[in-house]
Structure 1
Amino acid sequence: MDNEMILSFLAKSENESLARIAVTSFIAHLDPTIEELAECKTIVSEAVSNAIIHGYDGAYGMVTVHAILDGEVLSVTIKDEGRGIPDIESAKEPLFTTKGHEERSGMGFTIMESFSDEFRVESHIGHGTTITFTKKFSPIQAIAM
């Protein structure tokens, strides 16, 4: 492990950008490509939004972002202690949403998984959800070629 960061904040929509900026600042010294940076920001935004919108559904609670950097590999865990997901496999299906009346597309898990090298969801009813992803960034030398 080269570096580690833990950030906890109140589950409020305005804190989504805080999480996104914190994680992208954490990896800035790797000099990620614009595509890598955009993918990482999107994964974090989707995971934090899910925690706020679905995990707590307007109730107060905390979201924790735990990031570990090991060489060019970033591992991030985003956790809430909210309602939990009753059926993870259904929730991971494209277009599945429990908030269709709020114009949710139901693509969050699909997007997160497609931008990650590894992606995992764990959830327990009444105890919350944990999303973990890893992303390997291109070495700076490889980009210059």
Structure 2
Amino acid sequence: MTEINSIKMEFLSRSANEGFARTAMACFAAQLDPTLEELGDIKTAVSEAVTNSIVHAYPDTLGKITVRARLFDDNSMEIVVRDWGCGIEDIVRARAPMFTTGGDDRSGMGFTIMESFMDKLQVRSKPGRGTTVTMRKRILVRKSGK
């Protein structure tokens, strides 16, 4: 599998930047000719990952979030969302449906949603040093109408 294109962006953990990240990843993914459903999956997963960083990594302060994306010649995409926030004490527990540290207004479904919309999800974190979420999705190659 060979990388055919890549991007990296960095922004502050402001909620307004979630929409920017979501849209930017959809635009970048468009090079793989995804369906609207596949684009929706990518947008939703990115939204959840970035929102997790905004809400959980930096609950009382602004911090840095980076999003990197790579496209591969097998028509797949890798998206990495990283923060340098408080980190996750127990990743297994954090990935369980309905678990949240964000209060009553949070659903606790972020990782579950990411996992359901992407082909692969990896979460790495160190308390006090931040979290890295890596997601992969393969876009189905459509037959040409010609």
In structure 2, what is the Cα distance between the partners aligned to 1:85 and 1:33?
34
Deviations 1:44-74 (A, max 9, x none): 0000000010001131111000100002110
In structure 2, what is the Cα distance between the partners aligned to 1:108 and 1:128?
17
Q: Check the 8 A contact 2:55/2:102 in 1, yes or no.
A: no
Map of 2:90 onto structure 1: 87
Deviations 1:110-141 (A, max 9, x none): 01011111110000011000000100001132
Map of 2:27 onto structure 1: 25
Say whether residues 1:59 and 2:61 are aligned partners: yes
Say whether residues 1:16 and 2:13 are aligned partners: no
Runs (4 or more) in structure 1 with deviation over 3 Å come to: none
In structure 2, what is the Cα distance between the partners aligned to 1:61 and 1:98?
18
- Aligned-partner SS, 1:2: strand
Map of 1:77 onto structure 2: 80
Q: Check the 8 A contact 1:6/1:64 in 2, yes or no.
A: yes
Residues 60 and 100 (structure 1), Cα distance of their counterparts in 2 relative to 1, 3 Å cut: closer
Greater helix fraction, Structure 1 or Structure 2: 1
Structure 2 stretches of 5 or more lacking a match?
none
Q: Check the 8 A contact 1:11/1:51 in 2, yes or no.
A: yes
In structure 2, what is the Cα distance between the partners aligned to 1:130 and 1:58?
20
% identity of equivalent residues: 47
Structure 1 stretches of 5 or more lacking a match?
none
Say whether residues 1:97 and 2:100 are aligned partners: yes
- Aligned-partner SS, 1:26: helix
In structure 1, what is the Cα distance between the partners aligned to 2:60 and 2:39?
29
Query: What's the TM-score once normalised by structure 1's chain length?
Result: 0.94
* Counterpart selection for 2:113 from 111, 114, 124: 111
| Aligned-residue CA RMSD (Å) | 1.1
In structure 1, what is the Cα distance between the partners aligned to 2:103 and 2:58?
17
How many pairs align? 142
